[in-house]
Amino acid sequence: MAHVNIFDTTLRDGEQSPGVNLNQLEKMEIAKQLERFGVDIMEAGFPASSKGDFEGVRNIARTIKNTSVTGLARTIKSDIDIAWEALKDADEPRLHVFLATSPIHMTYKLKKTPEEVIQTAVEQVAYAKKKFPHVQWSAEDASRSDLDFLVKIIRQVIDAGATVINLPDTVGYTTPEEYGNMFRYIRENVPNIDRVSLSAHCHDDLGMAVANSIAAIENGATQIEGTINGIGERAGNAAIEEVAVALNIRNDKYQHSTNLVLKEIKRTSDLVSKFTGMFVPANKAVVGRNAFAHESGIHQDGVLKHASTYEIITPEMVGIDSNNLVLGKHSGRHAFKNKVESLGFQMEENKLKEAFDAFKLLTDKKKEVNDDDLFSILMDLQTDAVDVPKYKLEAFQIQSGSSNLPTATVALTSPDGNRVETARTGQGSVESIYNTVESLVQEDIHLADYQLNSIGQGRDALAEVHVTLTVNGKISNGRGTAQDVLEASANAFINAINRVLMSDRNIEQKQAHI
């Protein structure tokens, strides 16, 4: 059974999803969960893109011990120097540097000749190797590059010191057959290829990112790059959880293993979904809520007789436990702390007290509190913990009925600490709340998407709302939870606005795309 390294880029490529802007605490929680999940390498960000990204990468590099931490850099000395400052305290400093190799990118984006591209790549990899023990070089848009040119540049980059060669399908253009053939051609024609690990990085524009990644493994790739839930630019990246489960379920065919702890899949997926504000579709493979639901009577009958008739993946394999211990109003602080730690959270005493108080308030309204409920409480605390001036919902009231126009009165605390209050109408209760909040914050806001979901089952289940807003021209995702649907809607709307405020405090980020 051959081994495949898993390179997670949720915190870099994943954060480049429209509307996603993670704060430092959220990035750290995701990094810790990726470590528990067992990824071999995590790309913590692009240090040269902003002060915030630099600090995020540095903090993660200093904290994470069981996973190698890397950062992205262009083939520019200043990018490499900044990345070194961010990563030098890591247990295993690693750099990921990239340069385009396709004719269309070299001609129109880089405006360089093929010879100039080779010279730049070789010089900068050699420079990076003086600092970093591990240097990964990516041939951006490799799947649309000339194969013989790839052979030439890869050979020289390896001689310059690269330890990993990545061949990305940058725009999600290729097919499994074509992508696999590219890896086979490189393996057979680059004379020093045995000195490096070959990596695959696939985008999902044509829905083939996971299939292409598997094809790369079948043709010699020893590292797969992707993101949790497949998030990322445009249609996203290969979903790591799908690759991992496919290799496990079909080990008879692929005969490759990973270090991933599959029972951590659901928790990792939920964490990323809640922090990014990107809702996981119900029919999403492996982690969607319908992945183990059976509507057809024939299917239900078969599963009851023998699960494998229609279930090739068991819920327990990916961390869905039907026997979760529930907590109630009589549960004590010790039991609560044990449950919080079992969910993977390490909290200081003051934050644990806040979480326990929020839990007790919820038990006044809800008889039993399950893992999903606690997860939401803890997520909300982490989001609110960032020390940035922001809007806070103080109170709201709705007047509504079948024969009158809904009217919302909302009171907020503004970032400068002042309480503001007003009322507005709308065609529905949610619209009236949003119209009122918009008038209070005095920003140019447009609602692009609104999704409502329940956390758990029953009449007393928590409501979870995801929204996508455009705030002063910037896309932002927001998430809110509460037992009341309207309160959850208000929380999500304000959360999306606050995320723009938080991102505005950082230097404007330059987006990297490989």
pLDDT in tens, 64-79: 999 999 999 999 999 9
Number of residues assigned to the chain: 514
Lowest mean pLDDT segment, chosen from 73-87, 117-131, 370-384, 425-439 = 370-384
| pLDDT range class, residue 513, cuts 50, 70, 90 | low
Q: Is 356 in the same domain as 462?
A: no
- Token pair, residue 199, equals 């990596």
| pLDDT range class, residue 337, cuts 50, 70, 90 | confident
Q: Is 83 in the same domain as 207?
A: yes
Q: Is 425 in the same domain as 356?
A: no
pLDDT in tens, 447-458: 999 999 888 777
Q: Is 207 in the same domain as 250?
A: yes
Residue with tokens 């997926």: 269
Last residue within a domain, chosen from 228, 249, 276: 276
Q: Is 234 in the same domain as 268?
A: yes
Average the pLDDT over 314-325 and give the result.
Answer: 76
Last residue within a domain, chosen from 276, 309, 344: 276
> Domain span at residue 360?
333-384
Structural domain includes residue 285: no
Q: In terms of DSSP bridges, do strands 5-8 and 223-226 run parallel, antiparallel, or are they unpaired?
A: parallel
Structural domain includes residue 471: yes
pLDDT at 325 over 60: no
**Is 66 or 508 the better-scoring residue by pLDDT?**
66
pLDDT (0 to 100) of residue 55: 96
pLDDT at 359 over 80: yes
pLDDT at 161 over 50: yes
pLDDT at 114 over 90: yes
Contacts of 486 (CB under 8 A, 6+ apart): 396, 398, 429, 430, 433
The residue type at 103? P
pLDDT at 500 over 70: yes
Q: Is 248 in the same domain as 271?
A: yes
A 10 A CB-CB count for 7 gives 26
Last residue within a domain, chosen from 251, 276, 301: 276
pLDDT at 322 over 70: no
Contacts of 175 (CB under 8 A, 6+ apart): 208, 212
pLDDT (0 to 100) of residue 383: 62
- Token pair, residue 103, equals 């004719």
Structural domain includes residue 327: no
pLDDT in tens, 182-198: 999 999 999 999 999 99
Number of domains in the chain: 3
pLDDT in tens, 380-421: 776 665 556 789 999 999 999 888 899 999 999 999 999 999
**Is 302 or 441 the better-scoring residue by pLDDT?**
441
| pLDDT range class, residue 442, cuts 50, 70, 90 | confident
User: 470: which strand partners?
Assistant: 446, 475
Lowest mean pLDDT segment, chosen from 84-93, 164-173, 345-354 = 345-354
pLDDT (0 to 100) of residue 298: 47
Among candidates 205, 199, 212, 209, which has minimal Cα distance to 171? 205
pTM of the model: 0.86
**Is 504 or 176 the better-scoring residue by pLDDT?**
176
Q: What is the rounded CA–CA span in Å between residue 422 and residue 436? A: 7
| pLDDT range class, residue 507, cuts 50, 70, 90 | very low
Q: Is 239 in the same domain as 369?
A: no
pLDDT (0 to 100) of residue 510: 42
pLDDT in tens, 209-257: 999 999 999 999 999 999 999 999 999 999 999 999 999 999 999 999 9
The residue type at 20? V
Instruction: Please state the φ and ψ torsions of residue 422, each to the nearest 5 degrees.
Output: -165, 180
Q: What is the rounded CA–CA span in Å between residue 357 and residue 318? A: 31
The DSSP call for residue 281 is P
Tell me how many helices (H) and strands (E) the chain has.
Answer: 17, 16
pLDDT at 259 over 80: yes
Q: How far is CA 198 from the centre of its chain?
A: 23
* pLDDT-above-70 percentage for the chain: 92
Residue with tokens 């649907």: 485
Residue with tokens 């806040």: 354
pLDDT (0 to 100) of residue 63: 97
pLDDT (0 to 100) of residue 380: 73
Q: Is 60 in the same domain as 101?
A: yes
Average the pLDDT over 59-67 and give the result.
Answer: 97
**Is 503 or 132 the better-scoring residue by pLDDT?**
132
A 10 A CB-CB count for 66 gives 11
Average the pLDDT over 471-489 and give the result.
Answer: 92
Mean pLDDT taken over the chain: 90
Structural domain includes residue 47: yes
Structural domain includes residue 158: yes
| pLDDT range class, residue 506, cuts 50, 70, 90 | low
Strands of the sheet containing 445-455, edge to edge, are 445-455, 462-471, 474-482
Q: What is the rounded CA–CA span in Å between residue 335 and residue 312? A: 35
Kind and range of the H or E run holding 247: helix 240-249
**Is 360 or 435 the better-scoring residue by pLDDT?**
435
Q: Is 378 in the same domain as 463?
A: no
Among candidates 457, 456, 455, 458, which has minimal Cα distance to 488? 455
DSSP E strands in 381-504: the ranges are 392-401, 404-413, 419-425, 445-455, 462-471, 474-482
Q: Is 252 in the same domain as 348?
A: no
Q: Exposed/middle/buried for 240, CB within 10 Å: 0-12, 13-18, 19+?
A: buried
DSSP E strands in 265-403: the ranges are 392-401
Q: Is 116 in the same domain as 264?
A: yes
Q: Is 342 in the same domain as 442?
A: no
Radius of gyration of the chain (CA): 24
Structural domain includes residue 66: yes
Q: What is the rounded CA–CA span in Å between residue 437 and residue 493? A: 8
The residue type at 71? G
Q: What CATH code is carried by the domain that includes residue 456?
A: 3.30.160.270
A 10 A CB-CB count for 289 gives 14
pLDDT at 274 over 90: no
Average the pLDDT over 414-440 and give the result.
Answer: 95
Residue with tokens 């690990």: 197
Structural domain includes residue 294: no
Contacts of 342 (CB under 8 A, 6+ apart): none
pLDDT (0 to 100) of residue 219: 98
Q: What is the rounded CA–CA span in Å between residue 193 and residue 196? A: 6
Structural domain includes residue 480: yes
Q: What is the rounded CA–CA span in Å between residue 457 and residue 472? A: 37
Q: What CATH code is carried by the domain that includes residue 239?
A: 3.20.20.70
